[in-house]
Chain A
Amino acid sequence: MNHATDTHTEWEELVALHALEGLEPAEAQRLEQHLATCADCQAALADYQGIAGRIQASVPLVQAPASIERRLLRRVQQQRLRRSLRWVATAAALLILALGGGYWWGRQTAPLSASESRAATAVARIGAEKSQILQLSATTGLSASARCIWVFGESQASLIVAGLPPAAAGQTYQTWFVLKDQTVLASTTFQVDATGAAVVQLVAPAPWPDLAQMIITSEPQGGSLQPSTPTLLAGTF
């Protein structure tokens, strides 16, 4: 290498350490500046990096446990599921926002920020690593459905409803939780928009493992203490 004798050894040391990725950032920066003008050090670095690559490639082989592949593939499948659900929720949320916005422009009354917030919360729950989803299906001839999404360990959940007709005058929709001992607990009331969609925030009245079923009924405005009409939508935990 074409260096003055007093710096020759120092550059050699830096080149060797750089090849082994052992330089501190300031040292690496200093060496990079030097390399730009020193062909000998460039050649040495290339050779040293080749040697490092051979060392890296020749670690003694050990059998990888089979459980790693299972966990990896499960993670891939969960990602795909979350992505498809996120797409559905995003589409639903955008639809609700668009309709909410139209309502706001038309009547200057709709609280757009609240629906925006609920939609965003629902989407965030779906994207969470440990989200759980309960599908609610129509028990009558309705072409309605709903999904309740919550994050494991949290009591709050998002309910996304689609296809319910607007409630009759003086009526509202109400959600209910049925415990495993068949106790029925009242939950939130809600209205759907003109397309039959709603995003509702819920609080579970009991730990999720204690819940057996979620149902939705039509009730008088203000809600009821017990379901007073037949179940419209139901999902079993």
Chain B
Amino acid sequence: MDDIQLLLQIATEDEGALREFYRRYANLVFSMALSVLQNHAIAEEVTQDVFWTIWRKAALYDADRGGVKTWLLTITRRRAIDYRRRLKPTDSIDDPTSGALPTSALQSSDIDLQQALAELPDEQQACVELIYLRGFKQHEVAEQLAVPLGTVKSRIRLALKRLRERLSPIAD
């Protein structure tokens, strides 16, 4: 059964279909949440929350707007960013088990992408990661990196321009 058929089954409240969908994507969803949050406990909460959303709203999936994996990852990333933004400034996002965390969310398993990312200057990689995968706002990135806002915008522009030159678009 493919992903779309599974989602259709989940929309009819088929618990077995939910289990199968979970087994296919739990690691991916958890990994994305962990990349954004850098905290195992909150990433677990986000993962459960994402699959709970799938259980209740599987019927909302629209195949015309992208693949199931992309849809799921986008839901996860946005949900994790929402969680991160709700944390009080005094809440530590650092995870005591961070030894198990990837050192960078930009350590890609996509070889072409990995090579293209590796060719970017570190400061451009950092801006892409902080804005896209960690959900920080432009001014927050500027503060964190102690650079003007214009520099952040410029680094993002240069990073994507260079990646575009190096990579050809790949469908989901």
Chains A and B form a bound pair: yes
Asked if B157 and A64 make an inter-chain contact with CB atoms under 8 angstroms apart, the answer reads no
Asked if B30 and A22 make an inter-chain contact with CB atoms under 8 angstroms apart, the answer reads no
- Say yes or no: is B48 at the interface (Cβ < 8 Å to chain A): yes
Residues of A within 8 A of B167 (CB): 51, 54
Bound Cα distance from A145 to B52, whole angstroms = 34
Contacts A51-B167, A55-B106, A56-B77 hold; do A64 and B26 have CB atoms under 8 A apart? yes
Residues of B within 8 A of A50 (CB): 169-170
Bound Cα distance from A225 to B106, whole angstroms = 72
Q: How large is the interface on B (under 10, 10 to 19, 20 to 34, 35 or more residues)?
A: 35 or more
Q: How large is the interface on A (under 10, 10 to 19, 20 to 34, 35 or more residues)?
A: 35 or more
Q: Chain A residue with minimal CB distance to B66?
A: A53
Compute the total of residue contacts between A and B using a CB distance below 8 Å: 142
Residues of A within 8 A of B160 (CB): 16, 19-20, 48, 51
Contacts A12-B157, A16-B160, A76-B15 hold; do A68 and B32 have CB atoms under 8 A apart? no
What does the 1/0 interface line of B98-125 toward A look like (CB < 8 Å)? Answer: 0011100111111001100100000000
Asked if B44 and A67 make an inter-chain contact with CB atoms under 8 angstroms apart, the answer reads yes
Consensus secondary structure, chain B interface: helix
- Say yes or no: is B11 at the interface (Cβ < 8 Å to chain A): no
Q: Chain A residue with minimal CB distance to B46?
A: A68
Bound Cα distance from A63 to B137, whole angstroms = 29
What does the 1/0 interface line of B120-138 toward A look like (CB < 8 Å)? Answer: 0000000010011100011
Q: Chain B residue with minimal CB distance to A77?
A: B15
- Say yes or no: is A60 at the interface (Cβ < 8 Å to chain B): yes
Residues of B within 8 A of A68 (CB): 26, 30, 44, 47-48, 51
Query: Would you list the 8 A-B pairs with minimal beta carbon distance, nearest first?
Result: A64-B30, A58-B108, A22-B131, A20-B132, A50-B169, A58-B110, A64-B26, A60-B102
Interface residues in chain A, defined as those with a beta carbon under 8 Å from any beta carbon in chain B: 9, 12-13, 16-17, 19-22, 24, 44, 46-48, 50-65, 67-69, 71-73, 75-76
Interface residues in chain B, defined as those with a beta carbon under 8 Å from any beta carbon in chain A: 15, 18-19, 22, 26-32, 34-35, 40, 44, 47-48, 51-52, 55, 66, 69-70, 73-74, 77-78, 100-102, 105-110, 113-114, 117, 128, 131-133, 137-138, 153-154, 156-157, 159-161, 163-164, 167, 169-170, 172
The contact sample of 15 A-B pairs, CB cut-off 8 A, is A12-B161, A16-B156, A44-B164, A47-B169, A50-B169, A53-B70, A55-B108, A56-B77, A59-B35, A60-B108, A62-B30, A65-B44, A68-B47, A69-B22, A75-B48
